[in-house]
Amino acid sequence: MKFGAAPWLIALLLLLELALLWIWSARQSRLLLRDAFNSPLLARLLASVSPKRRWLKRVLVALGMALVILALARPQWGHSEIELERTGVDLIIALDVSRSMLAADSGGTNRLTAATSAIENLLNGLGGDRVGLILFAGEAFMAAPLTRDHVAVQRILNSAGPSLISEQGSDLGKAIQQAMESFDHAEQGPRALLVVSDGEQLQGDAVDAARKARKEKVQVHTAGVGSIMGARVPAGVGGVPSFVRNAMGREVHSRRDEQRLQQIAQAGGGTYTRIDAPGSAALGDWFSKSTTTLPRTTEKRVVNEPGERFQWPLGLGVFILAAEWMLGDRKRMKAIASEKSL
């Protein structure tokens, strides 16, 4: 037997201390009463009181409280089998964390902030769908494997930034390849990949990677962040503001490459959407529309859970406390009459 809320057992020790204090106080009360009424009259005054019943009532109260505390500790024994049924889509989100995502042209903030807040809104609206997170720049790595723990994915998402990737640049193709390696290929359910980026690709061939993913029945969707006009790319964080410069010494101006993102989505059999500002609901709308046609898989598994047995001590404890309440502490009239005749 084990307990689901074991700390409640400590209350049993406190109850024992109270019971001992109760016994001591009852004894002291008898001594004080005897000293105050040291006369034959005391026996007549207490003739109707039953010491045995009083002790029985105290025992019943202590036992009833002990059983209630035991019920609060949630005793468990045995096992019950529960069949869980879940339906959903396996979705991997590939987030661009290259330095160009720090360009501040997304509704008053930088692209990375706008992208992460939109992804958070998406995660908050998901049900039983599994989600994974890939962070990429010049390289890509799986930051969170496929899971239904969306809160854990959000925690990792909040720490995303260019400093997590040693090789800068932007290779959307590697992000797609990493996603294909990260999907659970033993599962036959629907799979989708969402690439969130400004679309600037400095190396790799994302269109070809998306085309290969489509052949393996993985839809590749894209979400663009940033503006067509573009903005300068910060060179660092903190201190005097500075911006990335090219070999000619000119400041690098980054723009959202919407055409490339649309080509990737088309090659991957997916759709393209746009994130215009932080807190955007665009990704939630995209997910509800793009996954309605996907067949939902059903996952069934049996989980052995310990059986909750708190009902037994709780029911018995309540019964004993009710019996104590109904039990009087006075002798029956016949017993009093027989004592007087003696």
- Please tell me the predicted confidence (pLDDT) of residue 293: 65
**Does position 173 have pLDDT exceeding 80, yes or no?**
yes
Domain with CATH 3.40.50.410 in the chain: 85-300
With a CB cutoff of 8 Å and minimum separation 6, the contacts of 325 are none
Kindly state the tokens that stand for 189.
Answer: 């359910």
From its phi and psi, is residue 241 left (phi > 0), alpha (psi between -120 and 50) or beta? Answer: beta
Residue written as token pair 């690098």: 252
Average pLDDT over residues 184-188: 68
Comparing CA positions, the residue from 95, 94, 112 lying closest to residue 103 is 112
**In which band, very low, low, confident or very high, does the pLDDT at 201 lie, cut at 50, 70 and 90?**
confident
What are the tens digits of pLDDT across the range 212-242? 999 998 999 999 999 888 888 887 655 556 7
- Please tell me the predicted confidence (pLDDT) of residue 113: 92
b/e map 256-271, b = 16+ CB within 10 Å: bbbebbebbbbbbbbb
CB-CB contact of 123 with 155 (8 Å): no
Rounded-to-integer distance, Cα 155 and Cα 327, Å: 59
As beta bridge partners, residue 224 has 197, 274
According to CATH, the topology of domain 85-300 is Rossmann fold (3.40.50)
**Does position 53 have pLDDT exceeding 70, yes or no?**
yes
Maximum alpha-carbon separation in the chain: 123
CA distance readout (Å), 232 to 96, 237, 245: 17, 14, 9
Average pLDDT over residues 51-74: 85
- Please tell me the predicted confidence (pLDDT) of residue 119: 93
Cβ neighbours, 10 Å, residue 63: 17
Cβ neighbours, 10 Å, residue 140: 27
